[in-house]
Amino acid sequence: MIDEDSVPAIEQDELLSRCVLSSKYVRAATSGDLTTGRVKAGAFIPHPHDDLSVNRHQSSSLEEVWQLCQQVARLTNKNLYGRAEVSAESFTSQGLVVKPDPIRRDNSEGLPPNPNHAIVVSWPAEKSAQLMLAQNIADGSLLH
């Protein structure tokens, strides 16, 4: 994990994960196996929020990346259907901005610390415009 007191800027080629917490965001492969499918655009739409929450992979083991998604699922009382892996460039090439947003140990929301947390901002206000960008991002993502 990243040191929360020394959070580096996000590089274009840096891998990010979006936790997939609904089966409606998974496009199953022809075999019907959810784990080999693709992610639908809806997994990347921030609406009704202004930002989209993602986790950085930097300085993390694969086990830690999965643990973060499992933690998100527990906190939101939802099932984890996988994680969509995508580069920061997939967002920035759409005119969006990816910013570090570490959740510190001493946060006021009572959330568990997550120094690898980041947010994607600068989304258009209209949901149809968000969907168009999200589709491009989903096309470049991989479901794990």
Residue type, 57: H
Q: Which two tokens stand for residue 75?
A: 């906190």
**Is the whole model's pTM more than 0.85, yes or no?**
yes
Per-residue pLDDT, 100: 97
Largest CA distance in the chain: 46
Helix (H, G, I), strand (E, B) or coil at 124: coil
DSSP designation for 114: B
Helix (H, G, I), strand (E, B) or coil at 55: strand
What percentage of the chain carries pLDDT values higher than 90?
80
Mean pLDDT of 97-118: 92
Residue type, 102: P
* Other Cβ atoms within 10 Å of 130 Cβ, number: 20
Residue ranges covered by each domain of the chain: 15-143
Q: Which two tokens stand for residue 143?
A: 């479901």
Per-residue pLDDT of 19-36, as tens digits, reads 999 999 998 765 555 545
Per-residue pLDDT of 23-73, as tens digits, reads 999 987 655 555 456 899 999 999 788 999 999 999 999 999 999 999 999
Contact 23, 43 (CB under 8 A): no
Confidence of residue 111 (pLDDT cuts 50, 70, 90): confident
Task: Identify which has the larger pLDDT, 134 or 4.
Answer: 134
Give one DSSP letter per residue of 2-23, joined into a string. Answer: --TTSPPPPPTT-EEEEEE--G
